[in-house]
Amino acid sequence: MSPAALPSLMLSLPLLGAVLAVLLRSERSRVYSYLCSAASAVAAAIWSVQVLLEGTASLVSDAPSVWGEYAIRLDPLGALVLLITALTFACVAMYALFSREGVTARSALLFNCFVLSILLAMVADHVLLLMIAWEAMSLTSFLGAWGAREDEDTIAGWRYLAITHFGAALVIAALAYLAVSSGEVRLSEMRGLSALIGPGASAAVVIMLFLGFGSKLGLLPFHIWMPDLYSRSSSTVTALLSTAASNVAVLVLVRVTFSCVGVEEQYALSLTVMGLAALTALWASWQALVQRDGARVLAFSSMENMGLILLTMGAAMLFRAYGAAEPAAFALMAALFHLINHTVFKALLLMGAGTVRRAAGEWDLERLGGLARGLPGLSAVFLIGTLSVAALPPFNGFVSEWAMFKALMHAEPIADPLVRIALPLAIAVMALCTAIAATAYLRLYGLTFLGRPRSAGAERPRPLERSELFPLLPLALLCILLGVASFPLLEELAAAVSPLVGAAGLKVVEGSSINFLHQGGLDPLGLSALLGFGMLVAFLIVRATGRRKVERVDTWDCGTPLDRRTQYTPTGFAQPLLRVFQKVYRPQIEVREEPRPSEYIRAVRFEQRIPEPFVDHLYKPLTAGAIALAMRVKRMQSGSIQAYLTYIMVTLVVLLVALR
């Protein structure tokens, strides 16, 4: 089999799918078109395995481009990310098919294009190809998310489009600068350019790249598009957007930052990145806590996870700056491992959320509840996702977050004590984010699946077909698998990232536990075995006392019958933390006296609005200013021909006099 077979298969199948989606108008054609993208995902997975076994694969296409020949390249690092991403793709494709979310020709077409652009961006080696794929990704994802084409969807989508395009402009400028200054158009040919372009320029380039790609990751202040888009678009699109797109961004960021530019001696830069990432993560977890819409919670959770990943990357840059190669490599490994895990559980959660929305016909937390009885299977799968995203053992989120914490604990190599302080601060931030975000996820799960239904839709959810749950199962399995048996992946990752930071082969696995520099290890398998063992012990003890019958009665109600209103609402659940962090949220609370139902009862209406400071104090003034300025300029088109002729004359005379 020729080396080009798999990649070309991977890239051509989605095209075929797109064509099918356009040509065959029938319902069945969608099946084929989604199968195409699933098949291409499988091809991608096989290719990445092949790369992992046989080493980097690189292909140069003879298709003429404006700027050198297009080239694609898959190194082990990319292969690892691509592998997981491809598996996720397959599941999402299945989901789109079974959930009947993507049965229109339009969505099938866009899905295939989206998949194609993501795969292309992930393996692109040629700068131009990367830019094209990256922007095509934003475009297709926007079009896919722009389902109902109501005006609100348009505004949400437009924000996304405009902001990511601004980011893309930064990325394009940075990459173009690298390309012209190095004379190379292939990322793999660029090596340690910081020596060539000087520290100042390289710092600028890296910052531009962080901001640029950050616009897709929801880095402050580019995050404002995320919640609206997530809540308005089908979970098929968001599942890909929040996982695959983020993977591309982080992957390219790592490659360019560490390999192409090389960040020796960049203390300030690393600290800046860490600070920005930390703020992002904090803000995201705070916001995730108070959202009413599950999709918005998940949007902010993506933002939070990306913030943590970038924070760890920043730490890696800091270690690199102080010449501590091995801690840097470990930090990088941790970040990428979390990226991979995030792919899995976030896709699982988003698709689960979509399923809930379809089953209950509701996605306002205030109107959900008690779904666990109606949809036990879904509740179990969703619980797995929730536990993983909340980083609880024995699931995958836990392992990678543990690794990130450990990575931040290597303060020794940093000489400057003041810079050292950055690490404990980072740990504090990360811990705070984790705790608050865990609360948010708990709120999401508990108020969706547990308690008493808060609306008719939640009372009697539409029973799910087995096929609707099927795409989620592989991801749930992956959550557990990556949690308990991640050694091969970790070793590959360590081997892949070590050269990026100039570390000799990093050793992360000791015996049965992940252990780095003998500073306390974790044995995920053992830990989960222990948990199982503990539960077994408990179970045995209980069994020893013989079986007892279970009696079902009403919830204890102190004598006043409970209804769907007399339980904690999501808003109420978040209230204590809201009070604690009042300075952050500045909620606008309005309590209005309503007409009394009877003279014994006071009726009060409570409304709470959480303002969006970034929109109100950054974006709105900016746009208003721009429009005002434009209005001033607009006066020049006054309609008077005499004025127009005056412009010509003045221009002429001024130029003649000035340049004579």
Looking at residues 414 to 473 of the shown chain, list those that interact with other proteins (rule: CB under 8 A).
Answer: 417, 420-421, 424, 427-428, 431-432, 434-436, 438-439, 442-443, 445-447, 449-452
Distances (CA, A) of 29 to 22, 33, 40: 9, 6, 17
Site for other proteins in 40-99 (CB under 8 A): 63-67
Q: Which residue in this structure is represented by tokens 């976030």? A: 346
Query: 47 with 10: CB under 8 angstroms?
Result: yes
Question: Which residues touch 448 (CB under 8 Å, ≥6 apart)?
Answer: 294, 356, 365, 368, 369, 371, 382
Other C-beta atoms within 10 Å of 659: how many? 6
**1 near other proteins, rule: CB under 8 A:** no
Q: Does 596 bind other proteins (CB under 8 A)?
A: no
Query: Residue 655, interface with other proteins (CB under 8 A)?
Result: yes
Q: Which residues pair with 181 in a beta bridge?
A: none
Nearest to 426 by CA among 574, 275, 563, 244: 275
Minimum distance from CB of 622 to other proteins (Å)?
A: 10
Binding pattern for the stretch 106-135 against other proteins, x by CB under 8 A and - elsewhere = ----------------------x--xx-xx
Q: Which of residues 365-394 bind other proteins (CB under 8 A)?
A: 369-370, 372-373, 376, 379-380, 383, 387, 390-393
Does 644 bind other proteins (CB under 8 A)? Our answer is yes
**Bond prior to 76 in cis (omega within 30° of 0):** no
Q: How far is the CB of 192 from other proteins (least distance, A)?
A: 20
Q: Closer to other proteins at the Cβ: 588 or 646? A: 646
Which 3 state secondary structure label does DSSP give 125?
A: coil
Tokens of 235: 């979970």
Q: Which run of H or E residues covers position 611?
A: none
- Residue among 99 and 112 whose Cβ is closer to other proteins: 112
Q: Which of residues 558-577 bind other proteins (CB under 8 A)?
A: 562, 566-568, 572-577
Distance CA 478, CA 344 (A): 7
One DSSP character per residue, 593-608 reads EEEEEETTEEEEEEEE
Span interacting with other proteins, options 84-92, 268-276, 328-336, 555-563, rule CB under 8 A: 555-563
Quick one: 383 exposed, middle or buried, by C-beta within 10 A (0-12, 13-18, 19+)? middle
What residues between 161 and 190 interact with other proteins by CB under 8 A?
161-162, 165-166, 168-170, 172-173, 176-177, 179-181
- Contacting residue, 580, 603, 615, 624, with other proteins by CB under 8 A: 580
Is there binding between residue 308 and other proteins (CB under 8 A)? no
User: Per CB under 8 A, does 659 bind other proteins?
Assistant: yes
Residue 1 beta carbon to other proteins: minimum distance, rounded to whole angstroms: 27
Q: Which amino acid is at 188?
A: S
Select the residue interacting with other proteins from 1, 53, 415, 553 (CB under 8 A). Answer: 553
Query: Rounded CA gap, 360 and 378, in Å?
Result: 12
**Smallest gap from residue 55 Cβ to other proteins (A):** 29
- Nearest distance from residue 457's CB to other proteins, in Å? 17
SS3 per-residue string spanning 272-313: HHHHHHHHHHHHHHHHHHHCCEHHHHHHHHHHHHHHHHHHHH
The answer to the question of residue 411 lying near other proteins (CB under 8 A) is yes
660 is a site residue for other proteins (CB under 8 A) = yes
Q: Is 554 in the site for other proteins (CB under 8 A)?
A: yes
Which among 304-312, 315-323, 353-361, 400-408 is the span making contact with other proteins, rule CB under 8 A? 400-408
The number of C-alpha atoms within 13 Å of 323 and in the hemisphere containing its C-beta is: 2
CB of 49: closest distance to other proteins in angstroms? 29
Q: Does 534 bind other proteins (CB under 8 A)?
A: yes
Q: Which of positions 208-267 make contact with other proteins (CB under 8 A)?
A: none
Q: How far is the CB of 87 from other proteins (least distance, A)?
A: 26
Candidates 198, 505, 532, 625: give the one binding other proteins (CB under 8 A).
Answer: 532
Candidates 263, 403, 244; CA nearest to 335 is: 403
